[in-house]
Amino acid sequence: QYRRLQSPLGKRPDERAPQSRLDTNNSEQCECTALQPATAGSLGLDLAAAVETTLATTRPQKISTGIKGPICINGEPYGALLLGRSSTSIMGLFVLPGIVDPDYQGEIQIMAYTLFPPLVIPQGQRIAQLIPLPHLTKGLAPHLPQQRGEGGFGSTGAAFLTLDLHRRPKRPVTLVWEGQHTKVEGLLDTGADVSIISPEWYPPRWPSKASMDTVSGVGGFTLAKKTPLLTVWIEKQAVTTVLSIVQLPPGVQCLVGRDILAQMGLVL
């Protein structure tokens, strides 16, 4: 059953700060006009979900706010510390802290998770706050010459090599169930938590069962069917495990994830 994040009781309208506290008319680059403090004495600017969002697992998920940087106060761009609100933490939604730089021009997104999924966050629900920070490092020489622009979530951090699915190592995989065998081509992927077989490559006479487990991909979350306990053979090594049955990209028959690779001690 889905839980819905409820809006907490708010402050009286006369306690709220006037909208004139944020003046964005003095700068052409300052478009962040929808941010307001909760009350006249609030240090933070409230952030709300731009669309209804469902957290189906305990994994962190980005939540859209519809607000674009830079954050401007009285026409001047500010950085900000992004934090959760105590009211949402009590209700089981936890916001991961973050930094919004004064030269950031993309959408401000909230990274959050719940320990008790599924949780529905209604559109317009205030779930985080921005604490404005002065740009004290403005006079220091930067590592990179360019401004951040619309790059966010580690855009100036470490660079990692990513490979196309079809260029990752492939190995013949033999699946065994109650003495019956089937062979597929397995794509070895240490980035996948679980191993998956595409439904068109799973023997139709072998049993499967419905599951509430989800598999996340580019298209979002997908409910996965499960195989019975299978013996999986790769390069003369065997492990016993359960595979998820989910549609894979064209040309990929089976995705061999960390659940199998770790048991076999295979290193890519």
Catalytic residues: 189
d(CA 23, CA 15): 20
The answer to whether the bond into 118 is cis (omega within 30° of 0) is: yes
| Residues 83 and 132: beta-carbon distance below 8 Å | no
Mapping DSSP to helix (H, G, I), strand (E, B) and coil, where does residue 25 land? coil
- What CA–CA distance (Å, rounded) separates 181 from 150? 51
Tokens for 249, please give them: 């990209």
Structure letter (DSSP) for residue 142 = P
What three-state secondary structure class fits 156? coil
